[in-house]
Structures are given as structure tokens and as C-alpha cells.
Chain A
Amino acid sequence: MPTVRAERLVNLVLCLLATRQYLTAERIRGIVPGYTDAPSDDAFFRMFERDKAELRDLGIPLETGRNSVFDSVDGYRIARRDYELGEIDLEPDEAAAVALAVRLWDSPDLTGAAHGALIKLRAAGVDVDPDTPAVVEPKVRTSEPAFAPLLTAVNRGRVVEFDYRKQSSPRPARRTVEPWGVVSWRGRWYLVGHDRVRDAPRCFRLSRIVGTVRASGKDGVVHRPPEVDLLGMVAKQNDQPPASATARLWVASGRAQGLRRRAKPIEALELDGEPGEVVEIDLIYPDSAASWIAGYGPDVVVLEPDSLRAHVRMLMSGFAEGVH
């Protein structure tokens, strides 16, 4: 921002904070240094419109109104109570928590906003050392391209449209959603909202959105129902009760370390001319367990239960038959 404009904007803010009367654009033109340079009425109004937009973008509450019924145009002022950040005073351990929170984001969209907040807290007299060491340093990234447009749509209350691909389906399908919020759960981002086609609440994984997200319609159309618990909705969808089961496996000697570290050895056993051991292991998710065990190929053989044995054999057959 050029010095001239920055100076004019600071003076405009100070002037509007100091006045209790609404000041019309014409009065402001006569008072605030910088506007007198405008070569014409047109140039002044363009300049003033841009300046107002800039202040509103920064979140400065610009009030418009008239001092009396005889005024023919609106004037402007800034109410100090709406402008000023409330009183805040943090204990050292509270300031350390704020420092940790500011460092949480690893995100082009949120890192800058968190720093903006930090600068204002400091200006309010709070001392926050950004390098306060933490026991655990949590990091949240927002690398999905859909994140920024969805967050903007949520904040503005706008409907979004995008192509979405379910995990197993190759063809993306068009979705129209009233977005309620974006949620990070166990390291993945989700959009939570009302799916207009299915007429029901849905969660969408951001990584499965194909192409660009388009916001449509007016601002403020979407209203999030007050009872909605964003995190709870995503958590519920992703929390199938684990069905734990014990399996007996044969493991070749000295192999499959990743499996052995979770298993209990039972007895030595030679299989197919290969030395090894029988082990017992608790498996929580049978499907992913079958893939994990199959990954070890001939180094691990399922003895029990039958369902797991059949599942692993099916995976092996898939490869053996498809000899390339």
C-alpha cells in the first residue's frame, strides 16, 4: 500500500473514531488530508468508495446514518465500542497456550489469520512468546485445494456445487450442498452439510472432491441448524464398532517383524519344509488385517479362523491367476 494511501486511511479511521456525528462524504473530503488531492468529484468518490471497502475488509465497523431527518444523504462514523478489542490479560501459562494455538496451522488460509489475531492480542498488551516450547507440537495442514473455497462458502453462507467421487466409484457425481462447516478428523478434512439432492445431512471427504468447488446463489442463504455438532457428525460416520477377533498364524522364522511385535508365540512348527512358529494375535479390523497379513506372502500362513484364511487365499489367488 502506498504511503499516501496508508496515511489517508489512518487519518480517516482516527477522524471517524473521534466524531459522534455522522460525517457525510463531502464533509470528510473537506476534513481528512489526502482527499483534497482528488482532481474531480468523480475521482474523489471512486477514491472514497475504495477506502470504505478497504476498511470493511479489515473488519472495521463503519456505521452509516443521518444526524437528523433533514439530512439528505447518509454519513459515516465508527462506534468505538464496536471497533475496540475487549480487555484481555493473560497469565504466562495462558499466553503459552495461545502461542501453541497460533503455531497449530500449517495452512495458507489460516496461518496468516492466526498471526493477525496474535498482533492484535499483543497490541492489547498481552505478551506472547511465539517460541514457548510445548510438550507436544500439534500441526494441522490444509493442503486440499477445496479447503479455501469451502471455508469461504461456509463463512458467507453460500451453497456449493462440486464433483465428488466415492471411494470405490470411478465416476464422480455432481453434488449440491448447503455447507455447515469444514472438519479435520484424524488427519483428514471433511465438509459437513445438507446434501440437497439426497435431502439429508452428509459428510464429504475433501480429498475426493474432483475439480473446482463453485459457490452459487446469494450470501447468507445457508443456515446451520443450531444443534449440529460438526465434529460429532464426522466422528459418528467414521466410527464403526471394532469387531476384535483372535487369529492363529504360522510365521516363518525371523520373518514378518511387524506382525511378530503384536503377536504372542505359541510353539515351533515346520511348514512346507520351512522352520517357523505358530503365534496368536488379536485383530481388530478383519478386512484391513487380511490385507496386512497377505502382504507378507509366504512368510505368514493363516491357520484360524476360516474366514480370515479364505480372505487371504482370495487375495493371493487374485495375483497368481493374473500372471502378467
Chain B
Amino acid sequence: MDSAQNRLPRLLALVPYLLARPGIPVVDAAEDFGVTEKQLRRDLELLWMCGLPGYGPGDLIDISFEGETITVAFDAGMRRPLRLTAEEATALLVALRAVGETPGVADTDAVQRALAKVESAVGNAKPAGVAVGLAGREAQATAEMREPIQEALHRGVAIRIRYYTVSRDEITERVVDPMRLLLVDGRSYLEAWCRRAEGVRLFRLDRVDEVTALDERTAPPPHARPTDLSEGVFRAREGQGTAVLLLDPDARWIAEYYPVEDAADLPDGRMRVVMRYGDESWMVRLLLGQGGRVRVEEPASLARLVADRAATALRRAAAAEARV
């Protein structure tokens, strides 16, 4: 948090915050406000200079330190925090509603109670300009995988999963140490330490085919960090192939769906994009599924491979029809 820009809101919140927690350690207060202890002490020194007209000894805010703890002796009338701004109310209430309306995310009853209390404290009934539906389209089979994973997370045990890796079109068994379940952009993921890959991986729940709880405590190594999702769940890895593609208007969704680079509109209405891929077989499958709506400009080897696969597929389809 930018401490300079947020200083005034923090100063206004500090006195009521301390009033509610007599004798709180400086270090705890600094952590709650997301500032250093040094900054918090500077804020308190500033508040000492503030108070009610008259500005005599009995009019100024009085905060006392005893060792490393703080107590407010005189609040100068600043007993309650300022109301939430419209933006703050929106950010909190929309998030609470989203969490409360999505089955399986949180204790719905607790969310509804929290929502009612926050709404009544905030006290403005203006409808929010933001709405969020968290849930995605989910098959029954996917929903069934969630339960044993949640159970394993709860008990803190490792699990063995059968997992479909779409990039290599293969199904593998692996033992993972579950860390948390995530719901990102409408899809559910298990974040876990994968003992096979020796790294933190995101497993899409709709690609998990089987979950077996093991009789073994989870043991992700200390350096296993949660994934930074701010750039999305797709990530370009080192050593990937690169293709230059020409997208027909019907295939422009590819540029929306996958991360592409150097997207350029051409005069004929097509779009030229540069796209990275980890596995050639995945790229071939994507391209074959688009028929002639995507042309491969580079590399020539990829274009040849796709054309060969298509020709073989047509021959085999003809063989199947001949059998009927």
C-alpha cells in the first residue's frame, strides 16, 4: 500500500482503531495498517499535534506509550471511523455477494450474516455498478472431484491423482501435496506441490479423473510458494516453440483466448499473431480444429505437419465410409 497517498485515511482511522484496542503493541497496529513501525510512530507523533480548537494541553489528542504498547487517553471527538466510500463499499459488498452466491466456496450462512451486517453499517442502498458471478460451467464429474480434495486439504494429507495433461494429450498418475483450491476466471484449480514435477502446479479440476487420499501428511517443501495469478493462469515457459499465424475473422477468438504477441490487423480483415506453444502436438490439434480458418506462416515444418495430418484424416474417413 502506498503510505503517502493513504496517509490521511489512515490518520483518521488510527484513533478509533486504538480506542477499540487499549494497550495494543505497536508492531501489531503497524501490521494491520500495512505500514512500518517507524511510519506508524510518525503518524502518532502527528496526531499528538492535532485536537480541538483551543489547542491547549487538554484539547489535543493524547496517546500514551507504555513500553511497546499504545493507549488513547483523549480522542478529541474522533471515536468512530469514517464511513466507507462508494468505491470501498462496492469492492467489499460485491466480493461478499460473489463469495456468498457461489456454492462450495465458503460457509454461505456466515457470508450472508457478514453481508447483512456490513450493509447495515455502510448504510447506503445505492446499487453497485459491479456484479460478479464466480461459478463456471461445471460438469457433475468435476463437482465430484472437489469433495475428496477438500477433505484431503482439511485433513492435511497427500493425494494421488489421475490427471489429464491437455498439452501432451496424456493421462498420468502423480502424488501431490494439496495447498489450496482456487477459482480463477470461472474455473476451479487445485494448487499443489507436484512431487513428480518437483514444483508448484495448478491442476484444473475438470481434468482430474480420480483422487485417492494417501495415509501420509502433506509435505510441500518450505520454498513452495502460492502461484502469482495476476497475469492469469497461462504462463509462457522457456524453450517454447513460436508460430506466426494468420487468423480469419471466425478464428479471432484465438487471440482473445490464448496469450498472443504482436497481434496486427491486416487490410483483408485477417489478423496476424505470434503465438508461443509448449508442445507441438497441442498446437497441431488447435490448428486442425480450425480447418482453413487459420494459416500457419511460420514455421514451415508445422504447416507441413498439419497438412499431412489433415490429408491422412480425410483418407481414413473415406475408408470408414467405404466400410458402411
> A104 to B102, alpha carbons, bound, how many Å?
13
Q: Chain A: which residue is nearest B305 at the CB level? A: A297
CB within 8 Å of B: which of A113-146? 113-125, 133-141, 143
- What mask results when residues 251 to 290 of chain B are scored 1 for a CB within 8 Å of chain A, else 0? 0110010000000010001110000000000001111111
Task: Give the A-B contact count at a CB cut-off of 8 A.
Answer: 405
Q: Is A212 an interface residue (CB 8 A)?
A: no
> A224 to B131, alpha carbons, bound, how many Å?
14
Q: Is the CB–CB distance between A319 and B122 below 8 Å?
A: no
Q: Is A74 an interface residue (CB 8 A)?
A: no
Q: Is A73 an interface residue (CB 8 A)?
A: no
Q: Is the CB–CB distance between B164 and A124 below 8 Å?
A: no
If A93-B110, A102-B92 touch, whether A170 touches B82 (CB-CB below 8 Å) is no
> A122 to B291, alpha carbons, bound, how many Å?
57
Q: Chain B: which residue is nearest A17 at the CB level? A: B77
Q: Is the CB–CB distance between A272 and B121 below 8 Å?
A: no
Q: Chain A: which residue is nearest B2 at the CB level? A: A112
Q: Is the CB–CB distance between B130 and A136 below 8 Å?
A: no
- What mask results when residues 153 to 171 of chain A are scored 1 for a CB within 8 Å of chain B, else 0? 0110000000001011111
Stretch of B3-11, B192-200, B214-222, B234-242 lying at the A interface: B3-11
Q: Is the CB–CB distance between B104 and A59 below 8 Å?
A: no
Residues of A within 8 A of B8 (CB): 1, 6, 9-10, 54, 58
Q: Is the CB–CB distance between A143 and B288 below 8 Å?
A: no
How many chain A residues sit at the interface, stated as a range, is 35 or more
Q: Is B159 an interface residue (CB 8 A)?
A: no
- What mask results when residues 126 to 153 of chain B are scored 1 for a CB within 8 Å of chain A, else 0? 0111111111110000000000001001
Q: Is the CB–CB distance between A295 and B286 below 8 Å?
A: yes
Most buried by B among A83, A87, A231, A272: A272
Q: Is the CB–CB distance between B136 and A18 below 8 Å?
A: no
If A85-B83, A122-B32 touch, whether A168 touches B250 (CB-CB below 8 Å) is yes
Most buried by A among B76, B79, B320: B320
Q: Chain A: which residue is nearest B286 at the CB level? A: A295
Q: Is A173 an interface residue (CB 8 A)?
A: no
7 more A-B contacts (CB under 8 A) besides A138-B134, A298-B315, A324-B300? A101-B99, A112-B1, A134-B180, A140-B185, A141-B184, A296-B285, A313-B317
